[in-house]
Amino acid sequence: MKHLLLSLLFVNLFTSTLLAVDASLKIEKDVEQRARIAVVDGSSNEDSRVFSIFLSDLKISGHFLPDTTHHVGDVKSNFIVPALKSQEYIIKYTMSQQGRTSLFVRLIKASDGVELFKKSYAIPSSQKMPFLVHKAVSDINKVLGYPDISWINRYVVYAVYTTPGRSEIRLADYTFNYKKTIIKGGLNLFPKWADAKQRSVYYTSFRGVVPTLYKLNIYNGTKQKIISSEGMMVCSDVSKDGSKLLLTMAPEGQADIFELNLASRAKKRVTNFKGIDVNGRYVEDESRIVFVSNRLGYANVFKKSINSAATSQVVYHGRNNNACDAYGDKIVYTSRESSNAFGGNTFNLYLASSTSSDTRPLTTTGANQFPRFSADGSVILYLKQRAGSTSIGYTNLTSYQSLLFPFTDRKVQAIDW
């Protein structure tokens, strides 16, 4: 028996040590796995903005270690200058923004100058230039066989308050170099993508006596009234196939979560609590949701099946976890960690799971809010406020890469990605 216990202790110690070593090795291995890459600008008018978007895309992918020097050179030549021989790949590009905006890219192997990929991209609007770069980098990533990063091609839709009682809903690329107002005038809030292809958005209009949910096709302007409710009306989540919505409504003056079947118009009450139940998000196979509730006396994240009443607590950390997002079984939530009501306004983000008790911090400083998973769940977008400045942040959950972009709009109300 004594031998058995000693053996178990030894195995336990060995396993713990091995796992601890594995964790540190994993990070080093990740760094080694990233391909060294340089970007060479062959444009007649060099634009540092284009170059910096290339760098951002390559960095946030988690698959490249880009050289941060803005190299200039002939795009057609296969000659690799000695200084770039230490790289694994070279991207050569020309960007022309006269008339229509066009981008030509070549991917070259640095060791022997062999061309691996070339493509031309064009778009009528010069404002949409960032999307050309995003498309080129996601194509290059695909050619090299890395995991998909097509989320960098997606629009971000967000609402900002402009003046008291007024707001605008805007579109942006993920770097916020491209921005366009799509809904202005009045108070229109809580934009949410209606479909995976990002052709339509749901949003709440406060134009009438009660808040009303509309669906807007962002390409042809067609607007459709979906549903209205006294008190509150928010589209919190859309099922993957776009057929069902999770709504926060308050038909009797109490905020609860409902599921609306768009085809049958059937409305199902998912929560029924006299306090606050909001922020419903589909999890796992979409038969369950996570949501924010104050049923324990403070805002926290809970989980329940859509078809049963049993509710379970998901987060056992923090005393004010008032917003969350979900992808599969992954949950990201905001936790307010200020010592007093109006103190440092510290909000940090944590990654949790609907199927286990694992929780890990994603941020440690500033006010980090509005966390949103990318369409593939690999990256989290958030708004960071620190030392008087606001940024849009991204954290790649696989590569641990983080990026911040300056954010100059007024106060954000909601973001979807």
Partner 1 sequence: MRQQLLLATAMTLLLLNGCSQKTPNMGNVSDSSQISGDTVSIDESGYGNESGNYNSSSDGFKSVYFKFDDYEISSEMQENMNTNISVAMSASAKVKIEGNCDEFGTDEYNYALGLKRAKAVKDSLSAQGVDSSKMVLVSLGESSPVCGDPAESCYERNRRVDIRLVK
Residues forming the site for partner 1 (CB under 8 A): 161, 164-165, 167, 187, 189-190, 206, 209-211, 230-232, 234, 236, 248, 250, 253-255, 275-279, 292, 299, 322-323, 334, 341-342, 345, 347, 369-370, 411, 413-414
For 170, counting Cβ atoms within 10 Å of its Cβ (0-12 exposed, 13-18 middle, 19+ buried), the class is buried
Q: Report the phi/psi class of residue 219: left, alpha or beta, with left for phi > 0 and alpha for psi in -120 to 50.
A: alpha
Token pair, residue 281, equals 């998000």
Of 36 and 386, nearer to partner 1 (C-beta) is 386
Are the C-beta atoms of residues 277 and 271 closer than 8 Å to each other?
A: yes
Q: How far is the CB of 222 from partner 1 (least distance, A)?
A: 26
DSSP 351-382: EEESSS--EEES--SSEEEEEEE-TTSSEEEE
Q: What is the CA radius of gyration of the chain?
A: 24
Q: How far is the CB of 324 from partner 1 (least distance, A)?
A: 9
Of 108 and 201, nearer to partner 1 (C-beta) is 201
Of 19 and 341, nearer to partner 1 (C-beta) is 341
Closest by CA to 93, choosing from 119, 55, 68, is: 119
Of 41 and 416, nearer to partner 1 (C-beta) is 416
Q: How far is the CB of 358 from partner 1 (least distance, A)?
A: 24
Of 104 and 370, nearer to partner 1 (C-beta) is 370
Q: How far is the CB of 213 from partner 1 (least distance, A)?
A: 13
Per the listing, tokens 């890459």 go with: 37
Q: How far is the CB of 6 from partner 1 (least distance, A)?
A: 53
Round to whole Å and give the CA distance between 277 and 364.
Answer: 27
Per the listing, tokens 């960690």 go with: 337
Q: How far is the CB of 219 from partner 1 (least distance, A)?
A: 27
Round to whole Å and give the CA distance between 82 and 69.
Answer: 15
Q: How far is the CB of 248 from partner 1 (least distance, A)?
A: 6
Of 84 and 234, nearer to partner 1 (C-beta) is 234
**Residue 363 φ/ψ, nearest 5 degrees:** -135, 160
Of 54 and 291, nearer to partner 1 (C-beta) is 291
Q: How far is the CB of 296 from partner 1 (least distance, A)?
A: 14
DSSP 127-151: GGHHHHHHHHHHHHHHHTTPPP-GG
Are the C-beta atoms of residues 397 and 172 closer than 8 Å to each other?
A: no
Are the C-beta atoms of residues 107 and 146 closer than 8 Å to each other?
A: no
Of 178 and 333, nearer to partner 1 (C-beta) is 333
Cα 339 to chain centroid, rounded: 28
